[in-house]
A and B are shown apart, each in its own frame.
Chain A
Amino acid sequence: MLPVLLLSLVAAVLLGGLFYQHTVTNRLHRCEWNDLLIQLQPVPTAPVSRVADEYLNPQPNQLATEPIDIWTALGGLDGMRRMRKNARVLIELAAYAERWNYTEGVIVAERIRRDALQLRRATFHIALRTALGADRLRIPFYMHEAAVAYPLMTQRLLALYQTSHIGLYPRLAEALN
């Protein structure tokens, strides 16, 4: 009985996994620029950039901004989720630019991917610690990491479009700001 159950379970996981991943691949392959753009969710750009700026350009009295202020600026857990979802779309938009500017598109997409990994890692730790209520002291550090990664990604993408496709740049800038 055990072999039957085990093989059925493995077969179900493999079938389900491969089918789902193929669907995602096909969606990525067929996705149009407009479809990607409408997937972007609103993120409070100015407050997030302000937090990132404070972190990257230290001034005297670095602890002036309280963690709760940073949390509010990032839009709380919902804001984190939005940034995380947008990160995927930003990568796809950069990968899309490979169609007319392959060399720069590939490199910028890779840079954005690395920023996205930092963002994902930070948001994962924040969500985990918030859910478990444990080791909350580290949350502000992860908030800063997320706050730095997101504006960097958007700036990289905007710069890529500004140099390689000025026609689409205004709509992208409008969607990201």
Chain B
Amino acid sequence: MNFSFLDNVLWAAAFVANVALLLVLVRKERWWEFPVFTSWIAFQVLLNFALFSIYRYGSARLYGIVYWSSVVLDFALQLGVVFEMARIVLSPTGTWLRDARSRFLLFGALGALLAVGVAFVVHPSAYDSLDAWEIRGNLFTSMCICELFLAMIMSANRLGLQWNHHVMGLGRGLTAWALVSFGVDALQSLLGRAPVFNLLDQARNIAWIGAVIYWIVIFWQPQAERLPLSPAMQKYLIELHARVQYDLDKVQ
């Protein structure tokens, strides 16, 4: 395990950004609305801390155990975040809208099947089979998140559902990061353990830090009030009211 200076800088930056986001989520009480997302960020903070400590003071075996155990939990939490957004957007009355859940789950399942198929077709050139499965697993994860997110946004738009400011911000950040992640995993699957492998990983980390900074800004701001009507419409209604008053006065 040899990490370059840039790797260490990105690691530290990601840790600081994750902690800052977690503080914002707790301080502004956003965790109440987004418990799974908050748990995911808390998990990232703990994971960063644990992996860095083990890298410095622990053994390579322990590092491997913690790293591999975290992969499954990380994927489960990512799925949880997408489902959390779906719950907020697709159930505005508290219960899931008719057709929305079934459609979302159907397209999500189809997307997951497609992701499995693509991950199997790809044959990354890796050191050993475990290494190849890691690359395939990463590709499956990022593709699955992108497809599930697409299924959710399609269901919401088809039903004319509107997103609130925070969900929209979360969605934008997650989409950007998931797409970069998918691009990185796709290239790593095709190129295998080429010299650019680490460079691609660094690009993914930079995208993550960018997304976290964006979320800090979004969740720091209050939920944007949507004005009932535009100033032009309000002016029209005031004029209409004045005209009705005038006509009434004349009639009387």
Write the residues of chain A forming the contact surface with B, with a CB cutoff of 8 angstroms. Answer: 2-4, 6-7, 10-11, 14-15, 17-18, 21-22, 24-25, 28-29, 32-34, 88, 91-92, 95, 99-100, 106-107, 109-110, 113-114, 117, 167-168
Contact = CB atoms under 8 A, between A and B. Distances in A.
Given A11-B182, A167-B237, A2 B92 contact: no
* Complex A-B, nearest 6 residue pairs according to Cβ-Cβ distance, in ascending order: A91-B160, A21-B153, A99-B228, A167-B237, A100-B228, A3-B122
Is chain A's interface secondary structure helix, strand, loop, or mixed overall?
helix
Given A10-B114, A100-B228, A3 B160 contact: no
Given A18-B150, A106-B93, A25 B230 contact: no
**Most chain B C-beta atoms within 10 Å of own C-beta, residue among A6, A11, A21, A107:** A21
A11 B183 contact: yes
B153 A95 contact: no
Contact of B240 (A7, A15, A167): A167
**Most chain A C-beta atoms within 10 Å of own C-beta, residue among B97, B123, B183, B229:** B229
Contacts of B186: 7, 10-11
B92 to A, nearest CB: 6
A24 B182 CA distance: 23
A32 B168 contact: no
Given A113-B98, A117-B98, 5 more contacts: A3-B121, A7-B186, A11-B186, A100-B228, A167-B241
Interface string B90-121: 00110001110000000000000010001001
Contacts, number: 96
Contacts of B161: 95
B233 interface: yes
**Most chain A C-beta atoms within 10 Å of own C-beta, residue among B161, B168, B230:** B161
13 contacts: A3-B122, A10-B114, A11-B182, A14-B143, A14-B182, A21-B157, A22-B175, A28-B157, A88-B160, A91-B159, A110-B93, A117-B99, A168-B237
Given A11-B182, A25-B157, A95-B160, A6 B168 contact: no
Given A3-B190, A167-B241, A22 B153 contact: yes
B99 A18 contact: no
B37 interface: no
A32 B233 CA distance: 9
Contacts of B189: 3, 7
Contacts of A34: 230, 232-233
Given A11-B182, A110-B93, A33 B233 contact: yes
